Amino acid sequence: MVQEEISELLSESHAWKDSLKNYRESFIQSQKRLLEIAADVPKEALSELERFQNQFYIQLLNIHDARRNLKKHIHNMNVSEDADFTEAHQELKQAYQALEGTIKELNTEFEEFSKHVKS
């Protein structure tokens, strides 16, 4: 594989890893916010509160796994510069995009929920 292609793949992989770190930090803040608003949640919304708590936990695990896979991918590209990483990179890209979509959807839902609870 050409060094220039590897550099592009490495750059993209690092960007995904950094983005996932930011999502992780955002979820940690959302978990704290969830605890803050828990006292004000009406009883009929407790199941929704629990769903968010569970989803934040699940997505934090997914983020952890995705970051671990990206670290391994980055390491492999740094060690074996002559191998073709295009297919593995595309698989990681699809997984990243799917996870990012889920994260964004969950964040939007939580924002709506927290606005509704505060009003």
Please tell me the predicted confidence (pLDDT) of residue 104.
98
Tens of each residue's pLDDT in the chain, 119 residues: 577 888 999 999 999 999 999 999 999 999 999 999 998 888 989 999 999 999 999 999 999 999 999 999 999 999 986 788 999 999 999 999 999 999 999 999 999 999 988 76
Distance (Å, whole) CA 81 – CA 5: 10
Cα–Cα separations (whole angstroms), residue 60 to 1, 19, 41, 103, 117: 34, 13, 23, 10, 24
The closest of 20, 27, 49 to 37, measured between CA atoms, is 49
Burial class (CB in 10 A: 0-12, 13-18, 19+), 88: middle
Alpha helices in 1-119 (DSSP H): 3-38, 46-79, 86-118
Distance (Å, whole) CA 63 – CA 24: 7
Distance (Å, whole) CA 41 – CA 17: 34
What is the domain range of residue 20? Answer: 3-118
The number of domains in the chain is 1
